[in-house]
């Protein structure tokens, strides 16, 4: 059950450290937070404000709370395949196809934008949105080449099986370099303005933009574009993933996909909570309004979940976005080796090597504990286990 761990901090996490609680308390102390900050079950230390924090604000937004990967999130596709349909096929062959179709790692973009017939319409939608809303993308001239690229860190692509041995495609990514530049630009603007206005902040990363200012209006326009880019980026990669599976499994393109869920977990949107219209920032959290479906991944080597929201008002109609880290990347590399990772990934096709040691499941919270803490926030529709994993470096 959630508890008020500090003034205006409602905590859903049964396992949480003091530093994360201190960050949430700091965020909740901002005068425009209403009615409270909600800490999700996977909450852990972040930059400025904790990851796994839901922050409702009146007449202001905090750019650093959204973070530098605007619109980062998950997409999942349920297929008509069963495990028996693919059990005889080499997973390494599919992995090679995925790695050929989708550029991996930061700075690794598409060589061209005309390889797939579904790419051009997405680029046109994004160009039109930028033009209509006055979004200046001069800082990122190669943004079209970034569409359909994965990135690094904890971004990944997976082939999964559900509780009935149905085959699912899973993918985690965000707004890539263009979103990062948009975020950093507005974080710097907010910090400069708060300093210029002599506003005292508990942390520079809590610098905010108030409504009624041109800087606020500009940020919301850029933010909306970056969120749309992230959404389309996941859809683009998923379409490429689907096509790779079609060829690999020799199935008809029109009959493979039966369901699709695409959701953000780093974003800001206007919602109504506790009787007031607020700007709701979900930093490492998904929307969980009553009946809204979402995707909650575990770490590589552990279970993931397809869920349906319960509309919990205390949780600000939100839910966790994953397992949440126990150890920083640096600490994980001190504690674990490539051999430890290989032992945890038995039975899963993945790229071996020590560059992914910091993503070992042991560096994350127990996803089963996270989901137990989230019982009032979501109900579980499907439980998935991965049989193939591709990570960005």
Match 């995707």 to its residue by tokens: 295
- 153 has pLDDT over 80: no
Answer yes or no: is 266 a known binding residue.
yes
Specify if 347 maps to a domain.
no
Lowest mean pLDDT among 146-160, 238-252, 339-353: 339-353
- 12 has pLDDT over 90: yes
Answer yes or no: is 298 a known binding residue.
yes
Answer yes or no: is 382 a known binding residue.
no
Answer yes or no: is 291 a known binding residue.
no
Q: 191: domain CATH number?
A: 3.90.1860.10
Q: Are 174 and 70 in contact (CB under 8 A)?
A: yes
pLDDT tens digit sequence for 335-347 = 999 888 888 889 9
Specify if 356 maps to a domain.
no
pLDDT tens digit sequence for 56-77 = 999 999 999 999 999 999 999 9
Catalytic residue among 186, 264, 321, 382: 321
Answer yes or no: is 157 a known binding residue.
yes
Specify if 16 maps to a domain.
yes
Answer yes or no: is 366 a known binding residue.
no
Given the DSSP bridges, would you call strands 60-61 and 285-287 parallel, antiparallel or unpaired?
Answer: unpaired
Confidence (pLDDT) at 131? 98
Answer yes or no: is 90 a known binding residue.
no
Measured CA angle at 283 (ends 365, 72), to 5 deg: 90
The three-class DSSP label of residue 253 is: helix
Tokens, residue 174: 């965000």
Specify if 374 maps to a domain.
yes
Structural domain span for residue 13: 3-326+364-391
Strand partners, 319: 286
Mean pLDDT of 135-152: 95
Q: Are 162 and 382 in contact (CB under 8 A)?
A: yes
Mean pLDDT of 79-102: 97
**Number of domains into which the chain is organized:** 1
Q: Are 225 and 133 in contact (CB under 8 A)?
A: yes
Specify if 340 maps to a domain.
no
- Whole-angstrom distance, CA of residue 31 vs CA of residue 274: 16
Q: How sure is the predictor about 379, in pLDDT bands with cuts at 50, 70 and 90?
A: very high
- 4 has pLDDT over 90: no
Measured CA angle at 310 (ends 63, 60), to 5 deg: 20
Tokens, residue 282: 């979900």
Is 321 annotated in the active site?
yes
Q: Are 299 and 363 in contact (CB under 8 A)?
A: yes
The structure's pTM equals 0.96
């Amino acid at each position: 059950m959630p508890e008020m761990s500090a003034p205006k901090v409602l905590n859903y996490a049964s396992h949480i450290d003091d530093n994360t609680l201190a960050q949430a308390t700091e965020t909740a102390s901002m005068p425009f937070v209403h009615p409270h900050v909600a800490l999700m079950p996977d909450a852990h230390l972040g930059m400025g404000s904790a990851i796994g924090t839901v922050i409702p604000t009146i007449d202001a937004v905090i750019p650093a709370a959204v973070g530098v990967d605007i619109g980062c999130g998950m997409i999942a596709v349920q297929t008509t395949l069963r495990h028996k349909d693919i059990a005889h096929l080499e997973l390494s062959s599919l992995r090679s196809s995925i790695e050929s179709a989708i550029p991996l790692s930061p700075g690794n973009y598409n060589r061209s934008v005309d390889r797939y017939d579904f790419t051009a319409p997405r680029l046109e939608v994004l160009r039109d949105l930028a033009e209509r809303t006055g979004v200046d993308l001069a800082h990122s001239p190669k943004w079209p080449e970034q569409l359909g690229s994965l990135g690094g860190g904890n971004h990944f692509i997976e082939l999964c099986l559900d509780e009935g041995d149905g085959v699912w495609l899973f993918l985690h990514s965000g707004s890539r370099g263009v979103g990062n530049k948009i975020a950093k630009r507005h974080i710097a603007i907010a910090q400069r303005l708060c300093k210029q206005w002599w506003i005292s902040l508990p942390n520079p990363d809590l610098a905010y933009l108030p409504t009624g200012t041109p800087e606020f209006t500009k940020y919301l326009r850029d933010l909306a574009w970056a969120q749309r880019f992230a959404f389309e980026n996941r859809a683009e990669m998923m379409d490429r993933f689907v096509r790779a599976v079609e060829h690999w499994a020799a199935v008809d393109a029109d009959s493979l996909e039966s369901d699709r869920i695409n959701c953000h977990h780093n974003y800001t949107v206007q919602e109504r909570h506790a009787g007031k219209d607020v700007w709701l920032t979900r930093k490492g959290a998904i929307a969980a309004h009553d009946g809204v479906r979402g995707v909650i991944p575990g770490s590589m080597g552990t279970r993931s979940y397809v869920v349906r929201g319960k509309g919990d008002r205390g949780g600000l109609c939100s839910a966790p976005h994953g397992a949440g880290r126990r150890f920083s990347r640096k600490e994980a590399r001190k504690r674990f080796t490539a051999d430890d990772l290989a032992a945890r990934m038995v039975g899963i096709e993945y790229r071996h090597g020590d560059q992914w040691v910091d993503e070992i499941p042991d560096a994350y919270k127990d996803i089963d504990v996270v989901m137990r803490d989230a019982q009032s926030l979501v109900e579980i529709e499907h439980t998935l286990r991965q049989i193939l994993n591709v990570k960005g470096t």
